[in-house]
Chains A and B, each alone.
Chain A
C-alpha cells in the first residue's frame, strides 16, 4: 500500500533496481550453477585421468609390496618442489587425500598416514568410508566409479587397481566440495559486485528518467488543481507538448478545459437571459397594472380640466398631478416595449434618416463617424424598431466616446439576418457590468435613464434576434442580429 503512494520519481528507480537485481540473480544463479557443474565435471574428469594413470603406475610397486614407492606415486600431487616434506594440504581442485585400499579394504598406504595409518580400517578414521566401502563390490568390473556421499560434501573417486584382471587394491581419491563452495562464494560475490556496479550506473539514470516521466504528470496535476474555484485561462496552463500518453492526456485536459469554459459561458448567458426575461415579465405585468388606473386618472384629470372649477390653486395642483402621471406613463411605456407588428420594412432611407438624426450629437463632440451601409433594398424588418435600436446604440456610442473619438456603424445583410454593428473607441464596459448591462436602470453614465439598452434588448428579443457585446479597452462593439421576417401580404 505504501508503495502506491511513492512518487514516480522514486518508483521508477526502485523498479529498475528490482529488475536489475532479479535479472542479475537469475543470470548469476544460472551461470554459477553451470560453472559449479562444469567445475565438478572437470574435477571428476581430471580425477578419472589421474586415477587411471596412478592405478596403472602403482601396480608394479604394489606387486613388490614396495610401500614407499607406492606412497611416493600417490603423493606426487601433494609434493611441492619447495619442501622436501610432502605438503599435505590439497591443492586447488586437487584431491584432498588419496589412499589405496588392499583387497581386504584395509589401508595399504595413504597420503595422510597420521589419519589413515597403514593396515587400518579407513572407516575408523573417516566414518564416510563405511558408505564408500559398501560401493566397493560394484567395482569388481574393474571400472572406476564416483561415490558422492549422501551425508557430507565429499566426493570419492574409486579406481580399481588390477594386474592381469585380478584386483589387487583400490585407489580412493577424495575430493572435498569445499573448493566448490569457495568458488561458489567467490562467484556470488563477483555477481553482487557487478550488480552493484550496474546499479550505480543505472540508478542515477533511472532517477533522471523518473524525474522526466514524473515532471509532465506533476505539471498536469498542478494544472488540474487550478480548475477550482475558477476555470483558468488556457494561456495559464503550461504543459509540455508531446504525442505520448502523457502528452495526449495534457491535450485532452486542455480541450476539456475549453469545453468547460464554453459551458460556463453558455450557462452565464442562460442565467442572464433568464433573469432578463423574468424582469421583462415583471416589468410588463407592473406596467399593465399601472396603465389601467393611470389611464383612468388621466381621463379624470382631463374631464376635470374641461368641466371642473376654475380655482387656480386646484388647477395648479391638478396640473402637477397630470405632469407626474404623464411621467409615470412615459416610464411605463418605456418599460412596456411592444413591437408594433404593423410597420413598413427597413430600407436605405431609414439609414439616411438615422444619420441625419444623430448628426447634431456627432458634431457636438467632433466624433469621426464612419458609416458602412451595405443595404440596397428593403429588408423585412420593422423599420421603426430597427431605427430605434440603431439610434439608441449610436447615441450610446457617441456618449461613450471622447471628443474626436471614433464611432462606426456597419449595417449589412448576412443570410436571413440584418446585422447591425456599432462600435466606438470610448471607455470600455467593465466585465462585471456586462452581465447586468441589459437590465433596466443600469446606467453607464449619470445622465442616462438606464432604460436605453433595456429597450433595445426588449425589441431585439421580441423580434427574435440576438444582441452581443464585446468590450475591451479601445473598442466596444455591439452587434445586433435581427432575423428577416417572412414576407406576407
Chain B
C-alpha cells in the first residue's frame, strides 16, 4: 500500500496534529482537582521556559509544573503507547477484540503488585511498580511459552492459539491475585490495590518521563517502520509471508514492543483499560485502514483520550479522585458498542 510523504487528502492533518496534542497538554495542565486561574498557568509555563520571571505562589507553581504538566505528558505518552499496542495486536492477531492486556499483562501486573504489597515479596525493597512490571513480564513469558507449546504456526490457527493462551494465562494470574488478597489483605490494603489496578496517574512526577517518553517514541518509531508489514497482514499471516514479509520476525518485534510498552505503562500507572481496544477502531472509521495514516492517528488519539480522561477522573467528583480506568471504561464501553453496531450495518 501507499506509504510516504504523499499522505493524500490528509495533508492538513499533518499540521493539525501537533496543535491538537499541545491543546490537550494545555488542558491537562490547566484543569485539575483545584481551581487555578489560567493566567497563573501561563505564568508558570513562561517562567519555567525562561521567558518571564514572575513571582508565583510556590504551591501553585509546583502543582502546575510538577504534578499536572508531568502527568499530562505521561498520560499522552501512555495513551499513545496503549493505543498502538492495541493496534498492533489487532492487526497481527486478526482479531478486533485484541487489546494490550490480552497476553496476560495486566493480570500478571496485578499479581506482581499484590505479591509485593500484600504478601510482602521483596521485603519492602521492591516498590509496587517494580513488582507489577516483573509480574507483567512473567505472565507474558508464560503465555508465550504456552502458545509455543500448543503450536499452531503463524496462520489463523496460530493467532487463535495465542489468544487462548493469553486468556488462560490471565485467568491463572487473576486467580493468584485473588488468592493473595483473600489470604492476607486488610480491607484498606485490598482497597488500595484495587484503586491502583484500575489505573492511577496521581503518582506521576517528572522523573517518570525518562522511562515513559522514550518508550512512547521508540514504540511509535518501530510501529511506523512496520506500517507496510501491518498492511500486508490484511489477508492473514500466510498472505503476508507470500508478500515477502518475514512473519516470525515481524511478530516477535511488534508483539515484543507492544508487550514491553504495555508492561511499562502498567507498572507506572496501573491497568488502564479500553484505550488499546477502542482507539484503534475509532481511528479506522475516521482515517481508514492504511497503517501509514492509522498509526500516527491512533497514537495521537490515544494521547488525547488519556489526557482528557485523567482530567475527568479528577473533576468528576469534587474532592475525590476516580481511578482513571473507570473513566476510560465509562467512555470506552459505549463507544465500543457503537462501533460494533455501526460495523454490522455495513
* Chains A and B come from one and the same complex: no
Which residues in A have some Cβ–Cβ distance to B below 8 Å?
Answer: none
Which residues in B have some Cβ–Cβ distance to A below 8 Å?
Answer: none
